[in-house]
Chain A
Amino acid sequence: MQKFFLKFKKENFGQSLIEILVAIAIGVIIIGAAAAIIIPALRSNNAVNEAKIAANLGKELIENVTAFAGADWHNLEDLTATTPTSFYFLTTSTLGFQSSVGIEQIVVGTTTYSRWFFVESVCRSSNAIITSTIGNNYSDCGILDFDPSTKKISVSFNWTEGATSTISTYLTRFRSRSLNQTNWSGGATSSLVSTSSSVDYFSTSTNINFSSSTGEIDILGI
């Protein structure tokens, strides 16, 4: 074994320049190839993150608009319904969400994102299927087809290097109340305005029996 090492030592005095250059070249190729793979992947990952952030900002705006309409449907009705030329965004205040005309800019990290929404009115067919969207002029879809209690909300968003995306939803004037009357035994009265269901009178009657003990009404004489 010692003879073998002695022989090897005697016959190898060091690396030649060519060998070093070849080694460097191989290294450059390997590193270059790795970079060619890794850098686009890193870039793609960044774009995905930006898209995710933009989509989340869009979804957030949809939810905010839903809350904005839920607080008072008139908030939404006050906005100009267009297809689509009037853009709005929401700001917050002590009064809740407020609408502003224009496009909202949001900076996250080093990327600037934009988001906005627009409102459209809705036409329905006779069987209540939504058939088209219009602006504020209900006559565009016929007076009996116009649904003033539904609006189409579209939220658009983009960022510096991204394309514009739009997501939409329909909001309805879903809150409801009822006023009811269960008693008419008080008879006719004049010029009364009631804010409750507890009234037991009416304005005028013709041929009505309203004097039952339970307060109900039916036709007089039958």
Chain B
Amino acid sequence: MNIYFQKNFKTWILFLIGIVFVVGLISAGLTGTPLSFGATNITSTDSGHWAWNDVIGWINFYETDSVMVKPKEIEGWASSSIGVISLNCNPISNPDGDNLCGIVPYKVLNNGSGTLSGWAWNDVIGWISFCGNSYDNGCATSSVQYGVPVLSRVPDEPPSDFWGLAWSDVIGWISFNCDDYGDCGVSDYRVTTDWFATSTFGEIDSVVFDTGVLRGAQFNSIGWRGSLPVVSTRVRFKLATSNCEGGSNPLACDSDDAWDFMGPSGSGVTGSFYDAPEYMDLGASKIYLANITNLIDHHNKRYFRYRIKLISDSTQNYTPRVEEVFVNYSP
């Protein structure tokens, strides 16, 4: 059996890869999820990756497998009848891998909420302006306000569609959506991406703190000092307590159970976090404090760890700043 398996090892690996591939295809087909391959988040469906220009025709944003819509910028290049349209000066946005940022630092920018601005480049027609409706940061001289917003079909969910017009001094308007010219139904084209405007977050799990209370402490509150630059940024907490340094709860401490980080809804509720309201304004920073409500979960425990989650605004331009975390307990 072993010899048979060894002889046919490669065959078995290929067979397994094939199985995974087929299962993926079937599941994608059943769920209606567009398939994306490689380093692109542009949808692969035929009506979801084309832009149009009256002079050069179709522009394909998927074929190069490189276009990636990110919260701050777009990377990669699109293909067209006049060759590559580079969306960013960095090496992964040019087919030959050249880093042009030291020469001309161009890129198509994303403000985090999907409003594009800045410039793309083509060797034949030169600059393509995405403007952003602000007449700076990439608007060509024009009396017409133009731009390319990328908007979620359903708020806070993918996919998102490109809309509107970009401008080239040589070839004129580039349309990203059939609705721009009222062509939908006649020619259903648009550029669609899995990216959508949403917040990002960072997270820390603390080391193990020892209260020194041999018979266990009662945990009362958890809070932090720092600042929230805009209202939609947040700082959230979970608390894990134990009578064992390793985090397991049996008194014998002979289990390898992981630390059980809990919010107010108790164990096993992933989305449950303590949200600390403002408690005191110190001027440059504020103190935020949350009472522990599931007291019995943190009753007479000696050790604790906290998990802090910092959440940005949906444009991913603003982050909370945390200067201090404190946990209050009664011995």
Contact = CB atoms under 8 A, between A and B. Distances in A.
A88 to B, nearest CB: 19
A194 B203 contact: no
Contact of A204 (B205, B295, B330): B205
B18 interface: no
Contacts of B294: 143-144
A222 B209 contact: no
29 contacts: A72-B215, A144-B293, A148-B295, A148-B300, A175-B331, A176-B220, A176-B329, A176-B330, A177-B217, A177-B328, A178-B328, A178-B329, A179-B209, A180-B325, A180-B326, A189-B207, A193-B207, A193-B245, A194-B208, A202-B204, A202-B207, A203-B208, A206-B202, A207-B200, A208-B202, A210-B204, A219-B200, A219-B310, A222-B312
Contacts of B203: 205-208
B226 interface: yes
Interface of B: 200-212, 215, 217-218, 220, 226, 245, 266, 293-296, 299-300, 303-305, 308, 310, 312, 316-331
Residue of A174, A176, A189, A217 with highest tally of chain B CB at under 10 A: A217
A199 interface: yes
A217 B312 CA distance: 13
A218 B318 CA distance: 10
Given A177-B331, A178-B326, A205 B202 contact: yes
A127 interface: no
Given A146-B295, A148-B218, A178-B326, A205 B316 contact: no
Contact of B202 (A178, A214, A219): A219
Nearest to B295: A148
Contacts of B211: 177, 179
Interface in A178-222: 178-182, 184, 189, 192-195, 199, 201-210, 214-220, 222
B211 to A, nearest CB: 7
A73 B204 contact: no
Interface residues of A, number: 46
B204 A182 contact: no
Contacts of A207: 200-203
Interface string A138-157: 10000110111100000000
B284 to A, nearest CB: 12
A110 B218 CA distance: 46
A74 interface: yes
Contacts of A177: 211, 217, 328-331
B253 to A, nearest CB: 13
A52 interface: no
A189 B208 CA distance: 11
A213 B169 CA distance: 48
Nearest to B72: A221
Contact of A219 (B201, B206, B327): B201
A208 B310 CA distance: 8
A199 B320 CA distance: 21
A201 B328 contact: no
Contacts of A144: 293-294
Given A193-B245, A218-B310, A180 B206 contact: no
Contact of B330 (A73, A146, A179, A203): A73
A176 B202 CA distance: 30
B330 A174 contact: yes
Given A74-B215, A189-B207, A194-B208, A222 B329 contact: no
B303 A193 contact: yes
Nearest to A210: B204
A195 B209 contact: yes
B269 to A, nearest CB: 13
Nearest to B309: A206
Contacts of B207: 189, 192-194, 199, 201-203
A174 B218 CA distance: 10
Nearest to B310: A219
A192 B207 CA distance: 6
Contacts of A199: 207
Contacts of B295: 146-149
B201 A222 contact: no
A181 B317 contact: no
Given A176-B330, A181-B325, A203-B207, 19 more contacts: A73-B330, A74-B300, A147-B295, A178-B327, A178-B328, A181-B206, A193-B207, A194-B208, A195-B212, A203-B305, A205-B202, A205-B205, A210-B204, A215-B323, A216-B226, A218-B321, A219-B202, A219-B320, A222-B317
